């Protein structure tokens, strides 16, 4: 068994410095052409252990660090889209993540998004609290943060602490205990925070030390690989490249991939079987600017590695899909079935009712599906690609069937103007965003509104509860019908409802409601108007100043009671008073 380097991805809110942190890591040895130089992979940067030792310096003794991993492999392309494509069955190929947070801005929308995705893929993470150098008055006199913090002025330390504890509080609300890395007692329960500056390099040695230490302490078993085993990997990106045709950028996380190997890769419609024509690795960083000779052709690569593969039929593959090499032809069918099953698990029809979900890659689709499941959003169909006419037609069918979910939700996809116009005309809600949690947020708002509309339609034929007071100074006619001024104390009064008094006796039926000669369909709480009530005789059934309540059948009461979340507090109060009156004669009325 061989220990491979852990695969580390960097996530965070836009402009919080994800790329800058990676750039600093790469830049530390940009001019270093000696042994131990950083190796640039396709889509990844390998930091060898010698470079980590050199960068950590005095921290090796301070933290008593000993090394058994060959280095760290950072995924270059930051952001949740890239992370989503680092998927594999049941989780992620990323062993650990660095969540970058601007200490001056704190947790932002995409920070929460990143945390949600890390949780759904079960990836442990540490936090790089970036941009400490932008704190007014901050002195970066040392590359080691825990030494530097002692040299700050009192007001600077106070500002840092305020921002730091705000991040701690926000993380606690999300469900994570966290602290400065050197104050963490149990790394399995508490998230380590390393304050850094990607500009000055402050905190970077500590970041590397923490990543290395945690990887060795908690991931050793996961990092053990058989180098002679078939390769397993994940496709980061499929693209057309001049002079190469369709290529696949791949992260190999297990085994060895060789030129001429048969590989099985995930496609939209099926597992694609092809042969590796060439494996390309970038040359050392000192030569990467030379576009004419950017790549070295290699015969094989051992995990963990980022490489570019040239092969036939790669145009059928999808980002985020698995890749498996097959050394034994008798195991080809087994590999094809594994890949096919994995794709089908994500591109799943989950039920007869639910939203239509579209995403740009398999990884994005899986991340969105996981989050939707957590928020109890049912999915009727999940698929890859931009929104199509088929998606709208499918949602239209849900609309016609009275479903709660006639929605098309798109993560990192687009819709043509013509189709968007068609959807609006058919009243199909389309929600598209590059941030999954925003899609969930917008959906939940629109879904709540639609659900309430549907429920209101169910009880639209029921009379609404109301309590009114006869205004004794405005009795215009005592009978035939009685006409008087009325104020709605609670609920909402509508025409054609029976009224009862405090003894439960029916005193009459509301014939009409008028305000300044204009007929009203309803009169809400706090409003006054003239009310005509048939069969009521003022002075017998009721007097000026009396309170009357709308009557209703026991079955209507139960229906409204079951939908009381649609009623206002005052309407619920009327129902309670009605029940009290009715239960004077029948203890179990409405129960």
The yes-or-no answer on residue 80 being catalytic is yes
Nearest CA to 477 among 529, 545, 536? 536
Residue 343 makes CB contacts below 8 A (sequence gap 6+) with 266, 267, 268, 271, 321, 362
Classify residue 221 as exposed, middle or buried by CB count within 10 Å of its CB (0-12, 13-18, 19+): exposed
Report CA-CA distances (Å) from 302 to 2, 40, 193.
10, 15, 32
DSSP 57: T
> Which ranges of the chain have pLDDT less than 50?
28-35, 285-293
- Residue 487, classed as helix, strand or coil, is strand
Predicted structure pTM score: 0.69
| Helices 332-346, 362-374: crossing angle, 10 deg rounding | 50
The answer to whether the beta carbons of residues 558 and 589 sit under 8 Å apart is no
CA pair distance 144, 201, nearest whole angstrom: 9
Report CA-CA distances (Å) from 278 to 259, 290, 307.
6, 20, 10
CA pair distance 235, 113, nearest whole angstrom: 22
User: What pLDDT, on the 0 to 100 scale, is given for residue 292?
Assistant: 44
Question: pLDDT tens across 352-388, in order?
Answer: 899 999 998 888 888 888 888 888 999 999 888 999 9
CA pair distance 79, 66, nearest whole angstrom: 31
Of the candidates 13, 16, 80, 565, the residue annotated as catalytic is 80
User: What pLDDT, on the 0 to 100 scale, is given for residue 79?
Assistant: 58
Question: pLDDT tens across 381-408, in order?
Answer: 988 899 999 999 999 999 999 899 999 9
Report CA-CA distances (Å) from 399 to 354, 396, 405, 572.
11, 5, 7, 31
CA pair distance 59, 55, nearest whole angstrom: 9
The answer to whether the beta carbons of residues 75 and 44 sit under 8 Å apart is yes
Report CA-CA distances (Å) from 408 to 5, 76, 413, 445, 449.
41, 32, 11, 14, 16
Start-to-end C-alpha separation, the chain = 69
CA pair distance 17, 203, nearest whole angstrom: 14
> Which domains, and CATH codes, for the chain?
2-225 (3.40.50.300), 232-339 (2.40.30.10), 347-458 (3.40.50.10050), 466-582 (2.40.30.10)
User: What pLDDT, on the 0 to 100 scale, is given for residue 289?
Assistant: 32
Greatest pairwise CA separation for the chain in angstroms? 107
Nearest CA to 525 among 589, 572, 482, 459? 572
């Amino acid at each position: 068994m061989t220990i491979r380097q852990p695969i580390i991805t960097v996530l965070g809110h836009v402009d919080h410095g994800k790329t800058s942190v990676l750039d600093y890591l790469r830049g530390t040895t940009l001019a270093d052409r000696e042994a131990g130089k950083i190796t640039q992979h396709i889509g990844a940067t390998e930091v060898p252990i010698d470079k980590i030792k050199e960068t950590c310096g005095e921290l090796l003794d301070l933290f008593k660090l000993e090394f058994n991993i060959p280095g760290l492999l950072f995924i270059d392309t930051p952001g949740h889209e890239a992370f989503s494509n680092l998927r594999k069955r049941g989780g992620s190929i990323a062993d650990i993540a660095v969540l970058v947070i601007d200490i001056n801005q704190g947790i932002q929308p995409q920070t929460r998004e990143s945390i949600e995705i890390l949780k759904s893929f079960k990836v442990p993470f540490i936090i790089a609290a970036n941009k400490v150098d932008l704190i007014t008055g901050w002195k970066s006199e040392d590359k080691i943060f825990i030494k530097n913090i002692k040299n700050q002025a009192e007001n600077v330390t106070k500002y840092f602490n305020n921002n730091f504890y705000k991040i701690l509080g926000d993380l606690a609300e999300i469900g994570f205990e966290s602290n400065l890395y050197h104050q963490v007692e149990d790394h399995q329960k508490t998230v380590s925070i390393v304050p850094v500056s990607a500009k000055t390099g402050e905190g970077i040695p500590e970041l590397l030390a923490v990543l290395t230490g945690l990887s060795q302490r908690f991931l050793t078993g996961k990092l053990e690989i058989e180098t002679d085993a078939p390769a397993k990997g994940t496709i980061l990106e499929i693209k057309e490249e001049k002079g190469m045709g369709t290529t696949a950028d791949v992260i190999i996380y297990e085994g060895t991939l060789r030129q001429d190997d048969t590989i099985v890769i995930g496609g939209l419609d099926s597992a694609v079987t092809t042969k590796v024509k060439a494996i390309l690795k970038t040359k050392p960083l000192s030569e990467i600017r030379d576009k004419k000779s950017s790549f070295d052709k290699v015969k094989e690569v051992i995990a963990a590695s980022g490489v570019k593969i040239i092969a036939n039929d790669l145009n059928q593959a999808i980002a985020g899909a698995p890749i498996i090499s097959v050394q034994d032809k008798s195991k080809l069918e087994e590999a094809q079935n594994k890949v096919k099953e994995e794709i089908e698990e994500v591109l799943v029809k989950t039920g007869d009712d639910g939203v239509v979900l579209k995403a740009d890659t398999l990884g994005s689709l899986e991340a969105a599906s996981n989050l939707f499941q957590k928020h109890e959003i049912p999915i009727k169909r999940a698929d890859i690609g931009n929104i199509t006419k088929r998606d709208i037609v499918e949602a239209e069918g849900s609309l016609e069937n009275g479903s709660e979910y006639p929605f098309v939700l798109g993560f990192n996809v687009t819709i043509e103007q013509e189709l968007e116009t068609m959807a609006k005309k058919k009243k199909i809600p389309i929600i598209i965003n590059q941030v999954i949690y925003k899609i969930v947020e917008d959906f939940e708002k629109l879904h709540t509104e639609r659900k309430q509309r549907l429920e209101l339609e169910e009880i639209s034929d029921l009379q609404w509860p109301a309590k009114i007071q006869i205004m004794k100074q405005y009795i215009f006619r005592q009978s035939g019908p009685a006409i008087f001024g009325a104020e709605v104390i609670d609920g909402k009064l509508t025409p054609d409802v029976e009224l009862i008094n405090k003894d439960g006796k029916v005193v009459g039926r509301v014939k009409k409601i008028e305000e300044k000669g204009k007929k009203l369909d309803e009169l809400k709480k706090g409003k006054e108007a003239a009310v005509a009530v048939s069969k009521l005789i003022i002075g017998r059934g009721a007097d000026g100043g009396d309170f009357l309540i709308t009557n209703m059948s026991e079955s209507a009461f139960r229906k409204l009671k079951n939908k009381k979340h649609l009623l206002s507090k005052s309407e619920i109060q009327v129902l309670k008073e009605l029940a009290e009156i009715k239960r004077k004669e029948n203890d179990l009325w409405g129960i």
